[in-house]
Amino acid sequence: MKLLAVASEGFPFVKTGGLADVVGALPAALAPEGVGVTTLLPGYPAVMAALGPVQSVESLADIFGAPARLVRATAAGRDVIALDAPQFFGRAGSPYLAPGGMDWPDNAQRFAALARAAAHAAQSMGFDALHVHDWQAGLAPAYLRFASSRVPTLFTIHNLAFQGQFPADVFGMLGLPAEAFRTEGLEYFGQVGYLKAGVWFADRVNTVSPGYAAEICTPQWGMGLDGLLRGRGRDVSGILNGLDTDEWNPAADPHIVARYDAADVTPRALNKAKLQARMGLAIAPHAPLFAFVGRLAWQKGVDLILEALPAILDNGAQLAFLGSGETALEARVRGATGAQLGRVGSHVGFDEGLARLCYAGADSILMPSRFEPCGLGQLCALRYGAPPVVARVGGLADTVIDANEMALAAGVGTGLNFAPVSQEMLASAITRAIALYRDGENWPRLQANAMASDVSWTRSARQYATLLRGMLRG
Ligand SMILES: Nc1ncnc2c1ncn2[C@@H]1O[C@H](COP(=O)(O)OP(=O)(O)O[C@H]2O[C@H](CO)[C@@H](O)[C@H](O)[C@H]2O)[C@@H](O)[C@H]1O
């Protein structure tokens, strides 16, 4: 099967978060299942540079007022098509944000162009199916539907909180027939909804864990789309994300100081010391070291970590933050660092190497997310032997087995879970983690169980292949 995937980011070419990891990993994961993936990405400067010499495969005479072309190359082991449209993507900086942190003012056009190019390529280049990721590509199933195309589409929701909503007057420039702008279409509370378009027009919809698939069908977590999602019934499913276990491998990771595997985790101590140094923490081999890696956002419960700080500090533990995001949270993280020098460390920014050092050097990774479609941080934590403390929501609940008494006795715990998601319950889980760490006997077992967890794509790739083959049958 020839599958075209379309997304606004994909590792290793451009990454701001977990979407890129998944888009970058699926081609290798699906290859053994007989699915050959080509990935269409916006031609950002970083993407064009990484592709090197390219072959021009299609020209698009007029894409929202300017010519563009599709170019193709194989790079980093992936077959990539880039939408070379300098008027939309030829700018430095974030894929989504202008300098100053506001959305690029022409994001509606930019990502409509991406979706239109994907629909065009899916039809004209002989692909069997189109895999559409998140709102940035969400219009593609609408373009295909109104072109009476037979190319089936799968729409994957990585985060329902980001919906790509634009004022109604954007509709006029999309080049879609008037009938598309209805409740039974892409109209969303009087606006144009790019994610809504994906959910409405795609043949199948999935999200990145079974738990989140169930949650988004409820009013509490459906973000206004639960009715529509419930209405799509069995067309909606959940498939867990995995990790590219070659890419994320503590035995071969070039970003960390000391490489190790499950047979001997003692080299982790060197990574811990390095992480403490990089984060401005006291070099304390026996202090339990917690780390947070991710977007500094309400979703991720960063405020809960800050409020639960006494549970960490009063127990002689340390905390390292790596992330960027909401200005107020960035300021609070910097403030906590300044107030607790040597005990709280932080790096506000995006740093792939430091993220890996966090997974390889921290004793435990904190993920107190209020909601989490899947989460990759906890999978990295398991793989790198840093048993995570996670909120029992979405994909976190699906991937981390709480080390309660029964689980410890049965030898199956891989981390710690807590619910409901509150500062108090997080503090109590942290206290439990520190006690386990200090009792000496259970922690190594927990760490070994974590590292033995299957976080690869193997099972999920099979599920994707089954879903895609089902789509081809209609
Ligand atoms: N400052 C920083 N420096 C370096 N690396 C950083 C970083 N901040 C984040 N990362 C990295 O980015 C990735 C984050 O992935 P997540 O899946 O945890 O969250 P995200 O919310 O971006 O993804 C959304 O999409 C993914 C993919 O489907 C879902 O798993 C998730 O639940 C959903 O919210 C990880 O690889 C992490 O290490």
Ligand 1 lined by 400 (C-beta under 6 Å):
no
Give a yes or no: residue 263 inside a domain. no
Find out whether 15 is annotated in a ligand binding site: yes
Residue 308, CA distances (Å) to 114, 239, 422 in order: 42, 32, 9
How far is the first Cα of the chain from the last one, in angstroms, to the nearest whole number? 15
Domain check: are 275 and 419 in the same one? yes
Ligand 1 lined by 353 (C-beta under 6 Å):
no
Domain check: are 95 and 215 in the same one? yes
List alpha helices for 362-474, DSSP H: 377-383, 394-399, 405-410, 423-439, 442-452, 458-473
- Cβ contact 133:7 at 8 Å: yes
Angle of helix 268-278 relative to helix 352-361, nearest 10 degrees, comes to 130
Domain count, the chain: 2
Ligand 1 lined by 372 (C-beta under 6 Å):
yes
DSSP 238: E
Give a yes or no: residue 257 inside a domain. no
Interface confidence: ipTM more than 0.95:
yes
User: Which tokens sit at 408?
Assistant: 């410890």
CATH number of the domain enclosing 175: 3.40.50.2000
Residue 349 to residue 98: CA distance in whole angstroms? 16
Domain check: are 224 and 360 in the same one? no
Domain check: are 109 and 23 in the same one? yes
Q: Which among 228, 235, 144 is positioned nearest to 189, based on CA atoms? A: 228
Domain check: are 184 and 203 in the same one? yes
CA of 18 to the centre of ligand 1 (A): 4
Q: Is the pLDDT of residue 415 over 90?
A: yes
Domain check: are 276 and 163 in the same one? no
Domain check: are 220 and 369 in the same one? no
Domain check: are 272 and 226 in the same one? no
**Over the stretch 84-114, which tens digit does the pLDDT of each residue have?**
999 999 998 899 999 988 999 999 999 999 9
**Over the stretch 78-87, which tens digit does the pLDDT of each residue have?**
999 999 999 9
Domain check: are 436 and 465 in the same one? no
Q: Which among 178, 118, 180 is positioned nearest to 154, based on CA atoms? A: 118
Give a yes or no: residue 230 inside a domain. yes
Range of the domain at 353: 268-452
- Band of the pLDDT at 473, cuts 50, 70, 90? confident
CA of 178 to the centre of ligand 1 (A): 37
Residue 297 to residue 323: CA distance in whole angstroms? 9
Domain check: are 195 and 293 in the same one? no
Give a yes or no: residue 251 inside a domain. no
**Over the stretch 285-296, which tens digit does the pLDDT of each residue have?**
999 999 999 999
Ligand 1 lined by 301 (C-beta under 6 Å):
no
Query: What pairs with residue 78 in β-bridges?
Result: 75
Domain check: are 437 and 411 in the same one? yes
User: Which tokens sit at 315?
Assistant: 């127990």
Q: What is the dihedral of CA 159, 160, 161, 163, to 10 degrees?
A: 110
Q: Is the pLDDT of residue 435 over 90?
A: yes
Question: Could you give the 3-state DSSP secondary structure of residue 320?
Answer: strand
Domain check: are 446 and 465 in the same one? no
**Over the stretch 16-26, which tens digit does the pLDDT of each residue have?**
999 999 999 99
